[in-house]
Amino acid sequence: MTDIQLEEEDKEINKRFKAILKSMKDRMDEEDKELITRAFNLAKDAHSEVRRKSGEPYIYHPIAVAQIVADEIRLGPKSVASALIHDVVEDSDYTLEDIERIFDTEIAKIIDGLTKISNIFNQDISLQAENFRKMLLTLSDDIRVILIKLADRLHNMRTMDSMPEHKQLKIASETLYLYAPLAHRIGLYNIKTELEDLSLKYTEPEVYRDIVLKLKNSQTEALRYLKNFSNAIKKHLENDGLKFSIKERTKSIYSIRKKMLTQGVSFDEVYDKFAIRIIIDSEKVYEKADCWRAYSIVTDHYRPNTKRMRDWISAPKANGYESLHTTVMGPEGHWVEVQIRSSRMDEVAERGYAAHWKYKSDSSGQNKLDEWVNRIREVLENNEGDALSFVDEFKMDLMADEIYIFTPKGDLRILPTNSTPLDFAFGVHTDVGLRTLGAKVNGRLVPLNYRLKSGDQVEIITSQKQSPKEDWLNYVVTSKARNNIKSSLKSERKQIADDGKETLERKLRYIKLKPSKNLLQEMVKYFGTKTSTDLYYKVGMKIIDNNQLKEFMRDQNQGFYAYLRKRIIGRSKKDLDQAKKEESKQKKESAEAEQIVVFGPDEQKLDYKPAKCCNPIPGDQVFGFITATEGIKLHHKNCPNSIYLQSNFAPRLMRAKWVSSKKREYASVLVIRGIDTVGLVNKVTKIISNDLHVNIRSINIAGDDGIFEGLITVVVQDKMHLDKVIVQLRKIEGVSSVERRFADRD
């Protein structure tokens, strides 16, 4: 590069750094400014010879991360300084000891946590779930590590265009699977939304571009509509003496896409793309009453949808989020979501954890977040399963929607959606959970698998004689309940196995047999158990009784080994014949499929099986996944499992594409919805069977109150063939939507 170019770059670097200082103006003194400047100079020196894949100086990245930390998360000077030097130890000769000497122990500790996370995620390993578990361990030390890491991830997502496509897909899937939910749970709503939108940009680029274009085309009209909507209530809010501001907005790209998928509708059919937020300028003591006054004024003018009302002021979310939400019918028949909150509530909603520091006089939000961090520690400490199970439990337990349950004394408990009385019992205390005999909900006895709803009052009935049962594991959703049940069952099983061992040895000695290792192995084979411990457990549970033991001894005396060999040989021959048939069938299927899909950059023809969760057909965008035991499985790009697989098993994914369309048949399931009319089923079957000559494998259409929904399984040759069926079905009078359906996640 020329000296002039280097000089221009240096000016740009300093300009960007000054923007950080400007953002921190209200939160730093001269000493803080000097600290941030020292961190900037160190980062500039450490990264002076390094450039990003885009060709830009690497220092742009830490400056951008620090800007997000300062401006969007609004953390303090030490966090901004840490963000500036977050890659220094990993990418230069500076050590952690150098950081502690130049700055202090607190900053060194944050950098240590960030470096550990970086080292974890830079390894070329497939199980990102294990990395996520290790990352969460840093919460025990300092939550600022996670906040800076989220800022780092956000900037990487904003600047991913120069990366190869497969890297974009992996990072975006990982972000959607782990980072966006984490940002949501910490309360960083804006960051969560942007991470989701950017992830969609790389996981479904065509869908993303289509929604962006449609939003852009309708934005002017949408904002005009929302202005008129707001103006109709502004005067009444002012007359009531309220000081307020109103923000008009449309839903995020990702949330629109999610609604399109979950509701099976098109972009135009997503009914609440419009939203306004009323922010009340109110003192803490009056803000709840003022928000309800505003709610009353809005619902006096516009008819509310009672099913869409949410009160997170009376019962805030675990991340401190407080707001009133309602959806009302506006002019011209458009639904509009209205959010009502105070200025303080709005800042907490936008800034999450960091905003609590500004309102130290009210510790409720901080306490809720501390409680959440403690719950994370509890999950980490009690989890004995593999990393993937841990992440699934973590997302379900700590990131799920919440319900609000009351104890008999009126104390409030927050649980994940779909929790049962058992989850509630273990939430109260482990001993209460272990001794649960029954439960009353709102004064009425209910089964232990009853799904609780917000507002329920729960009373647990206990007994000292009660202990957990195996089927309890099917009733609970919280990791605390699940882990405690597993632990109790494990202890109980061990005790039964110990008792069974004593019983078996006593019975063997009675018939003058020594319980040798060889004899035990023969018994394990005979009774079909996996281990001797399982054998002892069955004896202890009296599943293996005296009569069965006598049969075993009789077989021994009558030449058990010859008998066993005969059984094995006979079965092997049968199995061999079956295996030959299967092999012949697979070879035939592989020969047919060989010309259809190619894998990898070299477009190799490999054997594969279509994944049952999405049943891809020719023309679909697909990818291959190398399974542990079943070879390559072919998945649809929009398969419910795709984000999960791309996030956790990136090295086992293969690029794939269809290269020809031999005449084969593929079953696809369609979901059809609309207004129930006379002769509807006849119209549907006529178009599919007679007009299009497509075989219907099954059809199930049910109506309720004039609305119908149904599932139709059709047999088609490829995606073009399927698309033709969908287009024709959508033309039927009364049909509102026809969508292809994939199975739920495995």
User: Known catalytic residues?
Assistant: 90-91
Contacts 24+ apart (CB under 8 A), 49-54: 50/91, 52/159, 52/162, 53/162, 53/163, 54/159, 54/161, 54/162
Element (H, E) at 166: helix 165-174
Q: Roughly how many angstroms between the first and final C-alpha of the chain, as a whole number?
A: 53
Specify the pairing of strand 274-280 against strand 335-342: parallel
Tokens 């942007």 belong to residue:
194
- Cα separation, 590 vs 662, whole angstroms: 13
Q: How far is CA 676 from CA 122, 202, 696, 734, 741, in A?
A: 55, 39, 21, 7, 21
- Cα separation, 594 vs 662, whole angstroms: 10
Number of C-beta neighbours around residue 80 at 10 A = 30
| CB-based contact 94:42 (threshold 8 Å) | yes
Q: Say what the alpha-carbon torsion angle 223, 229, 230, 231 is, to the nearest 10 degrees.
A: 110
Burial of 71 (0-12, 13-18, 19+ CB in 10 A): middle
Instruction: Kindly state the tokens that stand for 158.
Output: 């904003």
Instruction: Kindly state the tokens that stand for 146.
Output: 């996670």
Amino acid making up residue 125 = I
Q: Which residues touch 486 (CB under 8 Å, ≥6 apart)?
A: 384, 473
Nearest to 174 by CA among 129, 209, 140: 129
- Bridge partners of 280, per DSSP, are 244, 342
| CB-based contact 480:474 (threshold 8 Å) | no
Q: Name the strands in the sheet holding 458-462, side by side, starting at the edge strand that comes first in the sequence.
A: 444-446, 436-441, 458-462
Radius of gyration of the chain (CA): 31
Contacts 24+ apart (CB under 8 A), 631-634: 631/607, 632/599, 632/606, 632/607, 632/608, 633/608, 633/609, 634/597, 634/608, 634/609, 634/610
What backbone phi and psi angles, to 5 degrees, belong to 58? -60, -30
Contacts 24+ apart (CB under 8 A), 501-506: 501/536, 501/539, 501/540, 503/539, 503/540, 504/535, 504/536, 504/539
| CB-based contact 69:75 (threshold 8 Å) | yes
